[in-house]
Amino acid sequence: MNITFIFFIGLFIALVGVIPPGLLNMTAAKISLKEGYGRGIIFSIGVCVIVAIQTYIASIFARYLSNHPEVIDVLQRVAFVIFVLITIYFLFIAKSTSKQQIEPKIRSKHSRFFQGLLLSSINVFPIPYQAYMTITLASFGWLSFEQINIISYVAGSTSGTFVMLYMYIFFFDKIKSKAFTSQKNMNYIIGGITGIISIVTLINILKEI
Protein backbone atom coordinates (compact mmCIF):
# COMPACT_ATOMS: atom_id res chain seq x y z
CA MET A 1 0.00 0.00 0.00
CA ASN A 2 1.36 3.41 -0.98
CA ILE A 3 2.23 5.27 2.23
CA THR A 4 1.63 8.63 0.52
CA PHE A 5 -1.94 7.57 -0.26
CA ILE A 6 -2.39 6.42 3.35
CA PHE A 7 -0.99 9.73 4.59
CA PHE A 8 -3.56 11.74 2.63
CA ILE A 9 -6.40 9.43 3.69
CA GLY A 10 -5.44 10.09 7.31
CA LEU A 11 -5.19 13.81 6.62
CA PHE A 12 -8.66 13.92 5.02
CA ILE A 13 -10.33 11.88 7.79
CA ALA A 14 -8.80 14.10 10.46
CA LEU A 15 -9.93 17.23 8.59
CA VAL A 16 -13.50 15.93 8.50
CA GLY A 17 -13.39 15.10 12.20
CA VAL A 18 -12.21 18.56 13.24
CA ILE A 19 -14.42 20.67 10.94
CA PRO A 20 -17.30 21.18 13.41
CA PRO A 21 -16.53 23.91 15.98
CA GLY A 22 -15.48 22.29 19.24
CA LEU A 23 -13.44 22.92 22.35
CA LEU A 24 -10.05 22.54 20.65
CA ASN A 25 -10.50 24.50 17.43
CA MET A 26 -12.53 27.27 19.09
CA THR A 27 -9.95 27.61 21.87
CA ALA A 28 -7.14 27.79 19.30
CA ALA A 29 -9.05 30.48 17.38
CA LYS A 30 -9.77 32.59 20.45
CA ILE A 31 -6.24 32.34 21.79
CA SER A 32 -4.99 33.63 18.44
CA LEU A 33 -7.49 36.50 18.53
CA LYS A 34 -6.52 37.51 22.06
CA GLU A 35 -2.78 36.83 22.06
CA GLY A 36 -1.66 36.50 18.46
CA TYR A 37 -1.30 33.74 15.89
CA GLY A 38 1.94 32.45 17.40
CA ARG A 39 0.35 31.39 20.67
CA GLY A 40 -2.55 29.81 18.83
CA ILE A 41 -0.09 27.73 16.82
CA ILE A 42 1.81 26.69 19.96
CA PHE A 43 -1.51 25.57 21.48
CA SER A 44 -2.29 23.63 18.28
CA ILE A 45 1.06 21.84 18.39
CA GLY A 46 0.26 20.67 21.90
CA VAL A 47 -3.11 19.41 20.68
CA CYS A 48 -1.52 17.55 17.78
CA VAL A 49 1.00 15.75 20.00
CA ILE A 50 -1.87 14.12 21.87
CA VAL A 51 -3.81 13.50 18.65
CA ALA A 52 -0.82 11.57 17.29
CA ILE A 53 -0.74 9.39 20.41
CA GLN A 54 -4.51 8.86 20.34
CA THR A 55 -4.50 7.95 16.65
CA TYR A 56 -1.67 5.47 17.16
CA ILE A 57 -3.55 3.84 20.06
CA ALA A 58 -6.68 3.69 17.91
CA SER A 59 -4.74 2.06 15.06
CA ILE A 60 -3.25 -0.57 17.36
CA PHE A 61 -6.70 -1.26 18.77
CA ALA A 62 -8.08 -1.55 15.24
CA ARG A 63 -5.29 -3.97 14.33
CA TYR A 64 -6.27 -6.15 17.28
CA LEU A 65 -9.91 -6.05 16.25
CA SER A 66 -8.99 -6.95 12.68
CA ASN A 67 -7.86 -10.33 14.01
CA HIS A 68 -11.30 -10.84 15.58
CA PRO A 69 -13.77 -10.36 12.69
CA GLU A 70 -16.72 -11.50 14.78
CA VAL A 71 -16.18 -8.50 17.07
CA ILE A 72 -15.87 -6.14 14.11
CA ASP A 73 -19.18 -7.34 12.68
CA VAL A 74 -20.97 -6.49 15.91
CA LEU A 75 -19.21 -3.12 16.26
CA GLN A 76 -20.04 -2.15 12.68
CA ARG A 77 -23.72 -2.76 13.21
CA VAL A 78 -23.74 -0.90 16.50
CA ALA A 79 -21.79 1.98 14.92
CA PHE A 80 -24.22 2.09 11.98
CA VAL A 81 -27.21 2.48 14.31
CA ILE A 82 -25.43 5.13 16.37
CA PHE A 83 -24.38 7.18 13.34
CA VAL A 84 -27.87 6.99 11.83
CA LEU A 85 -29.40 8.23 15.09
CA ILE A 86 -26.84 11.06 15.31
CA THR A 87 -27.57 12.01 11.70
CA ILE A 88 -31.32 12.10 12.31
CA TYR A 89 -30.82 14.16 15.45
CA PHE A 90 -28.65 16.86 13.87
CA LEU A 91 -30.59 17.07 10.60
CA PHE A 92 -34.15 16.93 11.89
CA ILE A 93 -34.32 17.28 15.68
CA ALA A 94 -31.58 19.60 16.91
CA LYS A 95 -32.86 23.13 17.31
CA SER A 96 -31.14 26.14 15.89
CA THR A 97 -30.06 28.35 18.75
CA SER A 98 -28.05 31.51 18.90
CA LYS A 99 -26.07 30.65 21.99
CA GLN A 100 -22.99 32.69 22.49
CA GLN A 101 -19.74 30.77 22.45
CA ILE A 102 -18.27 30.43 25.90
CA GLU A 103 -15.09 32.39 26.23
CA PRO A 104 -12.24 30.19 27.45
CA LYS A 105 -10.75 31.27 30.75
CA ILE A 106 -7.18 32.05 29.95
CA ARG A 107 -4.98 32.37 33.00
CA SER A 108 -1.44 31.84 31.82
CA LYS A 109 0.23 33.23 28.75
CA HIS A 110 3.28 30.96 29.03
CA SER A 111 1.82 27.47 28.83
CA ARG A 112 -0.19 27.30 25.64
CA PHE A 113 1.58 24.10 24.57
CA PHE A 114 0.69 22.36 27.83
CA GLN A 115 -2.85 23.73 27.67
CA GLY A 116 -3.13 22.10 24.25
CA LEU A 117 -1.84 18.83 25.70
CA LEU A 118 -4.35 18.98 28.55
CA LEU A 119 -7.45 19.88 26.54
CA SER A 120 -6.61 17.36 23.83
CA SER A 121 -6.13 14.65 26.48
CA ILE A 122 -9.60 15.39 27.83
CA ASN A 123 -11.06 15.02 24.33
CA VAL A 124 -11.02 11.23 23.83
CA PHE A 125 -13.36 11.23 20.80
CA PRO A 126 -10.47 10.69 18.30
CA ILE A 127 -9.77 7.21 19.71
CA PRO A 128 -13.11 5.53 18.86
CA TYR A 129 -13.48 7.69 15.74
CA GLN A 130 -10.07 6.75 14.37
CA ALA A 131 -10.40 3.10 15.43
CA TYR A 132 -13.65 2.83 13.51
CA MET A 133 -12.30 4.66 10.46
CA THR A 134 -9.11 2.56 10.30
CA ILE A 135 -11.15 -0.66 10.52
CA THR A 136 -13.39 0.62 7.73
CA LEU A 137 -10.41 1.59 5.56
CA ALA A 138 -8.83 -1.81 6.16
CA SER A 139 -12.06 -3.56 5.16
CA PHE A 140 -11.97 -1.69 1.83
CA GLY A 141 -8.33 -2.68 1.34
CA TRP A 142 -7.13 0.92 1.55
CA LEU A 143 -5.10 0.41 4.72
CA SER A 144 -3.04 -2.44 6.11
CA PHE A 145 -1.78 -2.63 9.66
CA GLU A 146 1.93 -2.82 8.93
CA GLN A 147 3.96 -0.51 11.16
CA ILE A 148 5.04 1.81 8.34
CA ASN A 149 1.43 2.21 7.21
CA ILE A 150 0.23 2.95 10.74
CA ILE A 151 2.95 5.58 11.14
CA SER A 152 2.01 7.15 7.80
CA TYR A 153 -1.67 7.21 8.78
CA VAL A 154 -0.87 8.75 12.17
CA ALA A 155 1.28 11.39 10.49
CA GLY A 156 -1.53 12.20 8.07
CA SER A 157 -4.14 12.44 10.84
CA THR A 158 -1.90 14.67 12.92
CA SER A 159 -1.24 16.91 9.93
CA GLY A 160 -4.94 17.08 9.10
CA THR A 161 -5.77 18.14 12.64
CA PHE A 162 -3.10 20.84 12.55
CA VAL A 163 -4.27 22.11 9.15
CA MET A 164 -7.84 22.53 10.39
CA LEU A 165 -6.71 24.22 13.63
CA TYR A 166 -4.50 26.48 11.51
CA MET A 167 -7.49 27.43 9.36
CA TYR A 168 -9.52 28.27 12.46
CA ILE A 169 -6.64 30.35 13.82
CA PHE A 170 -6.16 32.44 10.70
CA PHE A 171 -9.67 32.64 9.28
CA PHE A 172 -12.02 32.50 12.28
CA ASP A 173 -12.03 36.28 12.71
CA LYS A 174 -13.25 36.60 9.09
CA ILE A 175 -15.96 33.93 9.21
CA LYS A 176 -17.22 34.10 12.80
CA SER A 177 -20.09 36.42 11.81
CA LYS A 178 -20.93 34.47 8.66
CA ALA A 179 -23.69 31.92 8.22
CA PHE A 180 -21.12 29.11 8.21
CA THR A 181 -20.67 29.36 11.95
CA SER A 182 -24.37 29.53 12.84
CA GLN A 183 -25.63 26.72 15.04
CA LYS A 184 -28.19 25.65 12.45
CA ASN A 185 -25.63 25.28 9.68
CA MET A 186 -23.21 23.50 11.99
CA ASN A 187 -25.96 21.00 12.82
CA TYR A 188 -26.35 20.35 9.10
CA ILE A 189 -22.61 19.93 8.64
CA ILE A 190 -22.31 17.46 11.54
CA GLY A 191 -25.40 15.60 10.34
CA GLY A 192 -24.00 15.46 6.82
CA ILE A 193 -20.68 14.06 8.02
CA THR A 194 -22.30 11.36 10.15
CA GLY A 195 -24.71 10.63 7.29
CA ILE A 196 -21.80 9.94 4.94
CA ILE A 197 -20.17 7.71 7.55
CA SER A 198 -23.49 5.86 7.97
CA ILE A 199 -23.68 5.21 4.21
CA VAL A 200 -20.09 3.95 4.11
CA THR A 201 -20.81 1.68 7.09
CA LEU A 202 -23.97 0.31 5.46
CA ILE A 203 -22.09 -0.42 2.24
CA ASN A 204 -19.42 -2.22 4.22
CA ILE A 205 -22.01 -4.30 6.10
CA LEU A 206 -23.81 -5.25 2.88
CA LYS A 207 -20.52 -6.32 1.30
CA GLU A 208 -19.98 -8.84 4.07
CA ILE A 209 -23.45 -10.37 3.92
Give the per-residue pLDDT at 53. 95
Residues 140-158 pLDDT 10s = 788 888 889 999 999 999 9
SS3 for the chain is CCHHHHHHHHHHHHHHHHCCCCHHHHHHHHHHHHHCHHHHHHHHHHHHHHHHHHHHHHHHHHHHHHCCHHHHHHHHHHHHHHHHHHHHHHHHHCCCCCCCCCCCCCCCCCCHHHHHHHHHHHCCCHHHHHHHHHHHHHHCCCCCCCHHHHHHHHHHHHHHHHHHHHHHHHHHHHHCCCHHHCHHHHHHHHHHHHHHHHHHHHHHHHHHC
pTM of full prediction above 0.75: no
Is pLDDT at 179 greater than 50 in this prediction?
Answer: no
Residues 23-55 pLDDT 10s = 788 888 888 888 888 899 999 999 999 999 999
Average pLDDT over residues 124-151: 84
Give the per-residue pLDDT at 43. 93
Average pLDDT over residues 70-90: 74
* Pairwise pLDDT comparison (120 vs 23), residue with the higher score: 120
Is pLDDT at 95 greater than 70 in this prediction?
Answer: no
Share of the chain above pLDDT 90, in %: 21
